[in-house]
């Protein structure tokens, strides 16, 4: 059991399912309710897309992995010279003091998001959006921007030893990240979660499709 992350959920041969569409409909309505309340344009999820080629070899990972990446981001934000090293065995990344302090700001789209469900949409807004009190329609209760998620993934990349060129990830570097993560050495949890989220953010922005946590 783990966190699944996907894009293009209403497109593709396997997703033209009336029951699935009906089940997702309340989520889209809740997203647009929150966007409308913030004075932002609605998100219309595309039903037809070209094949979405992710360079990540994963479509999910254990729930704990995203906390490793969030911890790395929090440290990199606090100290631009910080470089990630593996956490000692048994240490919980979610309890890291620097990460806990970052939660207080409620500003990071990577950090301020449900661990198990929710959305990032390709709409440009600065602050994380929250459902109104008592409104349980928005999965996870928080809505992130794919634009801000991408910015934060670019920011943390150097701390993980990831080489980008003006925010762009080459095919060779993507392959290297996947190969290193597969060896399960060093900071493989951070790398696995980074490459999957980066590829989802890239596809989200290119094709104007939401990133879905489930």
Residue 113 has what pLDDT? 95
Q: What is the pLDDT of residues 116-166, one digit of tens each?
A: 999 999 999 999 999 987 677 899 999 999 999 999 999 999 999 999 999
* Nearest alpha carbon to residue 43 among 153, 124, 156: 124
The residue assigned the tokens 């929090």 is 74
* Nearest alpha carbon to residue 202 among 23, 31, 5, 4: 5
Q: What is the pLDDT of residues 75-121, one digit of tens each?
A: 999 999 999 999 998 899 999 999 999 998 889 999 999 999 999 99
Residues of the domain holding 96: 3-213
CA angle 161, 78, 113 (to 5 degrees): 85
Alpha helices in the chain, H assignment, sequence order: 18-37, 65-78, 97-105, 146-156, 171-182, 188-207
* Nearest alpha carbon to residue 157 among 197, 206, 117, 109: 197
Residue 16 has what pLDDT? 47
DSSP string, 127-174: SPEEPPTT---STTSEEEEHHHHHHHHHHHGGGGT---BTTB--HHHH
- Residue 33 in tokens: 């309710």
Whole-angstrom distance, CA of residue 2 vs CA of residue 214: 9
> Count of domains in the chain?
1
């Amino acid at each position: 059991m783990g966190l699944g992350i996907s894009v293009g959920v209403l497109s593709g041969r396997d997703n033209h399912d009336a029951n699935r569409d009906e089940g997702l409909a309340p989520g889209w309505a809740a997203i647009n309710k929150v966007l409308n309340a913030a004075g932002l344009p609605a998100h219309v999820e595309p039903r037809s897309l070209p094949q979405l080629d992710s360079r990540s070899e994963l479509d999910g990972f254990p729930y704990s992995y995203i906390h490793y990446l969030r911890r790395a981001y929090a440290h990199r934000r606090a100290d631009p010279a910080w470089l990630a090293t593996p956490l000692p065995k048994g240490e919980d990344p979610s309890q890291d003091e620097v990460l806990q302090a970052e939660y207080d700001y409620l500003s990071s789209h990577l950090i301020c998001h449900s661990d198990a469900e929710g959305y990032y949409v390709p709409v440009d807004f600065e602050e994380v959006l929250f459902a109104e009190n008592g409104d349980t329609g928005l999965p996870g209760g928080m809505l992130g921007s794919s634009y801000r998620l991408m910015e934060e993934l670019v920011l943390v990349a150097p701390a993980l030893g990831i080489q980008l060129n003006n925010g762009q990830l080459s095919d060779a570097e993507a392959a290297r990240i996947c190969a290193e993560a597969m060896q399960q050495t060093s900071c493989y949890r951070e790398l696995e979660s980074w490459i999957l989220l980066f590829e989802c953010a890239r596809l989200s922005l290119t094709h104007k499709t939401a990133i879905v946590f489930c």
